[in-house]
Structure 1
Amino acid sequence: MFNTASSPTSSSSRASTGSPATVGDVISVMEAAYPPYLAESWDAVGLVCGDPTENVKHVAFALDCTDAVAERAIAENADMLIVHHPLLMRGVTTVAADTPKGRIVHRLIRHGVALFSAHTNADSARPGVNDCLAELLGVTPGEPLRPIEEALDKWGVTVPASDANSLKDAVFHAGAGTVGDYTEAAFEFDVTGQFRPTAAADPHIGSAGELERVEEIRVEFVAQRRVREKVRGALLKAHPYEEPAYDVVETHSGTADVGIGRVGELDTPMTLREFAERVSERLPHTVWGVRAAGDPESMIRRVAVSSGAGDSFLDKVAGMDVDCFVTSDLRHHPVDEHVRAGGCAVIDTAHWASEFPWCGQAADVVRRGMEERGHTVTTTVLDIQTDPWTIHSQGKN
């Protein structure tokens, strides 16, 4: 039985009255909770179809955008459908209405339903898909199984003293200068610059052909690498010179608290047999069910989870202090070799079952976010099972 208290299979709620929300408002809330920069490089997250300026009164949530899900969203009079798995990701060259994916896109557009996906960015975010899975199974969602390194740039720029404050304001507004719990962080010191403008130059200071020496300030700050071009644009716009002098050095601040998977303690130590039964009871029911590899009587105290397909982490968990790894879409040979090499126990769930509980979390994120902005919105988690497997036969004894 699926634990509806932790993540409802079908729920609907209305926020307090206020100004109409737009697709763009909902996107803003989703991207604040599940930042796009956390997505894997191969992923395709964000708005698939729809107009960001269109009003939204009703947002529906599902794991996949199948024909049945699209039809239900339309029937529920949803203005926006948010899913986990991107509809258009692999080898898409057409959305013609006579193709499976194109049929869905055309149907949604004709009925004014915007489509948005949050995939691996929602997997890595905190709280995200993996936190939801861990908590549902009674596992404290601790450190990520694969943390994302926090990539930083160290910037340095020289600027006339009279323009230093306005330049700092500009780059800080673009996202620079944040270090831990501190913002607008920078170093600065006095320097002397020199230059000789050519006849073609239009200098802010000095005259063509004349050597100019200027008392300036060098400002140094850090910024996340993902906002490099935004910071560069702000710097160039705010700097008074035609050709400002600046440098960027790549660095990093170690690993972040976000990333794929979670590792934590099980609330009550139990055998693998008991834990597999708990996983089966707490996740949504599927024909695929739940299967486990390892000694059924081994004790499980510390668990790693990775929602969706996670066999690429088998080598990693083999070298970790964990008693069990819970994931989906596992294959015969990798699991067999992992167990025979002395690796931890493994529990394999249906892909859909390990990720669907997130839909309830995402609905709560949008509902709260819209309330904070004074908007009126209804959220509904669609109770359509999109797991593709329909028959499971163990055969005769």
Structure 2
Amino acid sequence: MIIQDVIYHLETLAPLHYAEDFDNVGLLVGDKNTTLTGILVTLDTLEAVVDEAIEKNCNFIVSFHPIIFKGLKKITGKNYVERVVLKAIKNDIAIYSMHTALDNAVLGVNNMICDQLQLVNRQILIPQHETIKKLTTFVPKAEAELLRNALFAAGAGRIGNYTDCSFNINGIGTFNGNENSSPVKGKKGHLHFEAEIQISITFQKHLEEQVLNTLFKTHPYEEVAYEITTLENKNQHIGMGMIAELETPMEAQDFLNYIKTKMNTPCIRHSTPLNRPISRIAVLGGSGSFAIEAAKGAGADAFITSDLKYHDFFTAENRILLADVGHYESEQYTKNGLVAFLTKKITNFAVVLSKTNTNPVKYF
């Protein structure tokens, strides 16, 4: 097995196409064709984590946060980022980051928080826009079923909880091939009328290359007529944060004690507790102040996130309980979720949960 085989599984969970534009995700250090010896999963890649990978014979570090976030003009070891990169290269250790690709994945960071809190009825809080595309093509009636099934197999036609979705219209296509053509239907130099079916089918944007390759491979025509459009529909499976529910509502004080225990945090900074039971919960791992209005709009009684500033707490306006559990604390279970995922996918290689505590914030 090579490192690329592991990357393939990681990108089925969290395709890099859905990472935020500002982010730096994917393989940051190393060669994807290197033979794998073991995988170390961590929240952050620090020197101590690289040392841990060396000790445990893991030549591939899967890190949530990217160690390289801005461009490096020199690698001389003058700061912690450069020292990590140097040590990884010297020891032939590859580093891969998932960050906001995993933030936006339906089974990613926020779903893992919901698992920890045992929340039910989960939905994406802020769905991504312009991530659903539509293919429209035209195919002879006799070959329509074959093409449709091939496109379904390539991942197209999945909408929410449904698969094999398409729309089909009967019509007549016309074409006239020149002297250089090799028409499958009709004769070159003669106008041909063909009974065709117009097939329209949606797909996730990260599947575009796969869907088009299938179209060209399966379609019978020498020249394939097709259109791709980007839809305005919200993507219920891609986006930031989650909105879910407690199985049993709690009073505010009990709820704060609950999340303090479940999220293993020594401190919760919170807004004024509400005078009503807490039932509907919004969560967003990492810095989540930008999602406060979305949480209020979704009818959340409480919003669990981190890195809230002083004035952010005023925006609660007695409509929602804001709970800042700490940045590291909000994302700490991500590595456990990744280990569980990779262990199911890769059974013949060690997938190791890093024991290094990378939290830079200490509490007195």
Give the TM-score range, shorter chain.
Answer: 0.7 to 0.9
Residue by residue over 1:216-259, the C-alpha shift from the partner in whole angstroms, topping out at 9 and shown as x without a partner, is 52340313151334433443455455543223344365541443
> Which segment drifts farther, 321-330 or 277-286?
277-286
Count residues with an aligned counterpart: 361
What is aligned with 1:369? Answer: 345
What is aligned with 1:113? Answer: 93
Matches within 5 A, 1:212-291: 212-226=191-205, 227-239=207-219, 241=221, 243-251=223-231, 254-285=234-265, 289-291=267-269
Q: What's the Cα RMSD here? A: 3.1
Within 1, Cα distance between the matches of 2:293 and 2:36? 45
Under a length normalisation based on structure 1, what TM-score does the superposition of the two structures give? 0.78
What is aligned with 1:359? Answer: 335
**Which of 55, 59, 83 is equivalent to 1:79?**
59
1:357 partner amino acid: Y
Equivalent pair of 1:157/1:220 in contact (CA under 8 Å)? yes
- Using CA pairs under 8 Å that are at least 6 residues apart, name the structure with larger relative contact order, 1 or 2: 1
Equivalent pair of 1:153/1:225 in contact (CA under 8 Å)? yes
What is aligned with 1:6? Answer: none
Residue by residue over 1:160-218, the C-alpha shift from the partner in whole angstroms, topping out at 9 and shown as x without a partner, is 5676566556544543344556655555566444344456x33436777x342142523
> Which segment drifts farther, 357-366 or 35-44?
35-44
* Secondary structure in structure 2 of the residue aligned to 1:55: coil
> Which segment drifts farther, 107-116 or 221-230?
221-230
What is aligned with 2:300? Answer: 322
Equivalent pair of 1:156/1:218 in contact (CA under 8 Å)? no
What is aligned with 1:295? Answer: 273
1:32 partner amino acid: T
Corresponding position: 1:390 with 2:362: yes
Change (3 A) 1:239 1:354: same
Equivalent pair of 2:40/2:62 in contact (CA under 8 Å)? yes
2:349 partner amino acid: V
Corresponding position: 1:63 with 2:43: yes
Within 1, Cα distance between the matches of 2:284 and 2:236? 17
2:236 partner amino acid: A
Corresponding position: 1:346 with 2:322: yes
Structure 2: gaps of 5 or more residues: none
* Secondary structure in structure 1 of the residue aligned to 2:27: strand
> Which segment drifts farther, 105-114 or 37-46?
37-46
1:328 partner amino acid: S
Within 2, Cα distance between the matches of 1:274 and 1:45? 38
Within 2, Cα distance between the matches of 1:139 and 1:172? 32
Within 2, Cα distance between the matches of 1:117 and 1:245? 38
Q: Offset at 1:109? A: 2.4
Within 2, Cα distance between the matches of 1:99 and 1:170? 53
Calculate percent identity across the aligned residue pairs: 27
2:181 partner amino acid: D
Structure 1: gaps of 5 or more residues: 1-20, 393-397
Within 2, Cα distance between the matches of 1:146 and 1:262? 8
Residue by residue over 1:313-356, the C-alpha shift from the partner in whole angstroms, topping out at 9 and shown as x without a partner, is 112223343222111000011212x13x3331211111011101
Change (3 A) 1:163 1:97: farther
Equivalent pair of 1:175/1:223 in contact (CA under 8 Å)? no
**Which of 29, 32, 48 is equivalent to 2:9?**
29
What is aligned with 1:96? Answer: 75
Equivalent pair of 1:23/1:80 in contact (CA under 8 Å)? yes
Within 2, Cα distance between the matches of 1:142 and 1:182? 18
Change (3 A) 1:260 1:349: same
Change (3 A) 1:180 1:270: closer
Change (3 A) 1:217 1:182: farther
Equivalent pair of 2:265/2:325 in contact (CA under 8 Å)? no
Within 2, Cα distance between the matches of 1:177 and 1:268? 37
Within 2, Cα distance between the matches of 1:318 and 1:179? 27
**Which of 260, 282, 295 is equivalent to 1:304?**
282
